[in-house]
Amino acid sequence: MRLLLIEQDAGRCARIRERLATCRPHAQLTVHRPVQQGALAPEFLAQGFDAVLLAPEWPGGRGLAWARELAGRAGFAPLVLLRSEADSSAVSDAAALGAYSVRDDLDGEAFLHVLDAAEQRQNYARAVWRASSAGRDAQRFGDAFIRGYRRIRRLAAGTLTDLYVAESERAGTLVALKVACDRQDEDQSLDVFRRFLQEYEIAQRIDNPDVVRIHDLGVSDEHAWLVMEYFPLGDLRRRMRAGLAPREALRVAALVALALATLHGEGVLHRDLKPGNVMLREDGSIGLIDFGLSKDAVLALDLTDTGAIFGTPHYMSPEQGHAEAIDARSDLYSLGVILYEMLTGQKPYQADNPMAIVYMHRKEPLPQLPERFAAVQPVLARLMAKRPEERFGSAREAAAALAQTLEQWLARGAQA
């Protein structure tokens, strides 16, 4: 049995866990704290849960109000309103919504009967949905049929992969599902799967919030798919389009540097760091994604040909752009490009073709920030130095310099 509890009070959460440990020792309880986590995503149907329990109230919200909204989502899991003994109207309010209700002291057999009824109802609803034409269609991602995932929408379409938002029954949350398209030739298909495997292995091994969480890796005769953490706020590129205050740009750059320190500490070079591979969480943290081009010393994996140029030209270090040996300082150069773009809204080097951009990274003078960002120029110069030995010695050193620059910026009372 899997239950989702909407509750803010830590004491009540603990009491519910204790009660479940006694009456349903194998039950899994996931807690959603509405004050910190906000409302449930509008596409979320809690299909991976047998029931959703709603506290009577919390600061700024009431369980009944949430129940009214959630009950209006077709296919949402059974709702159980926890009511106080004095709330005589809760039973009829719950019944009007097709929900269950039980006293929040959880005493007696009523709680167990409600859980059993909700579980049976959800099992039946799942079976009917899976067998229906709508259910089968919702589990299709392009030409791939992937059980246990409900397609919500396609986020992006590429030549080799498509990216979707889906709801995962097993994870009990919204996920990003990347599917290898079946329109490439056999060699391309094998290469995509190898990159999926590398991304899965790296993220699973590191298991750190600085890196995207990977839920699953799947393969069939014709398709491969990777199930990852979903970031509702999107990537840094999307945030940059809306405009970034200087202090926010410095804060994000410091976070990316710390994330790189985590990667480099595990023997991984990202090698394709760019705004589209920096994802934003609602709590202000970031997660790096897309390790398909990474070099992993632990796994001894490098899926690029020796002497080949790979990555995104606008963000490649001079040595990477010329297919020379690289180390962690190459990722720091890419971070410098991102920092410049966050502050100015433009890439430091622009040309009509990729090879011209690669040439400019090596030969053109170091980009200069506008005068109002003069305080940031020294750290940018270290990040984007043409020679690796003139850059910061490590990502952690770069993170400290960025944090110090941010402190100085704020102390001077510069424009936010």
Residue 272 among the catalytic residues? yes
pLDDT for 308 beyond 70? no
Determine contact, residues 154/162, Cβ cutoff 8 Å. yes
pLDDT for 147 beyond 70? yes
Q: Return mean pLDDT, the chain.
A: 89
User: Which two tokens mark 409?
Assistant: 């910026």
Q: For the chain, list the domains and their CATH numbers.
A: 2-131 (3.40.50.2300), 139-229 (3.30.200.20), 236-411 (1.10.510.10)
pLDDT digits (tens, 9 = 90+) for 218-242: 887 778 899 999 999 999 999 999 9
What pLDDT, on the 0 to 100 scale, is given for residue 180? 85
pLDDT for 69 beyond 60? yes
What pLDDT, on the 0 to 100 scale, is given for residue 314? 93
pLDDT for 300 beyond 50? no
Alpha carbons 204 and 217: distance in angstroms, whole number: 11
What pLDDT, on the 0 to 100 scale, is given for residue 307? 41
Greater pLDDT, 312 or 261: 261
Catalytic residue among 162, 272, 296, 331: 272
Q: Indicate the DSSP class of residue 78.
A: P
- Percent of the chain residues topping a pLDDT of 90: 72
Match 């001077």 to its residue by tokens. 412
Residue 142's nearest CA partner among 222, 213, 218 is 222
